[in-house]
Amino acid sequence: MTRRKVLILEDEPAIRNVLYVLVAGLGCEGDIVHNSRQALASINRESFDAVLLDLRCSELPPEKLVAEIVHVQPNLVGRILVITGEVADPQILAMIEQHSLAHIPRQQVATQLWERLQTLLSASRRPSPFSPNQ
Per the structure, the count of domains in the chain is 1
Angle between helix axes 13-25 and 109-121 (nearest 10 degrees) is 40
Residue 129 lies in a domain: no
**133 found inside a domain:** no
Report the CATH number at residue 110: 3.40.50.2300
Summarize the confidence of residues 41-67 as an average pLDDT.
87
Is residue 130 in some structural domain?
A: no
Q: What is the pTM of this model?
A: 0.72
- Has residue 94 been placed in a domain? yes
Nearest to 116 by CA among 35, 39, 6: 6
Residue 131, in any domain of the structure: no
Task: Assess if residue 13 is contained within a domain.
Answer: yes
| Residue range(s) defining the domain that contains residue 76 | 5-121
Instruction: Give the tens place of pLDDT for each residue, 85-130.
Output: 655 667 766 777 666 566 666 666 666 666 777 777 764 344 444 4
Q: Give yes or no for a contact between 4 and 79, defined as CB atoms under 8 angstroms apart.
A: no
Alpha-carbon distances of 110 from 18, 59, 64, 105, rounded to whole Å: 7, 26, 27, 10
Residue 102 maps to a domain:
yes
Give a yes or no: residue 128 inside a domain.
no
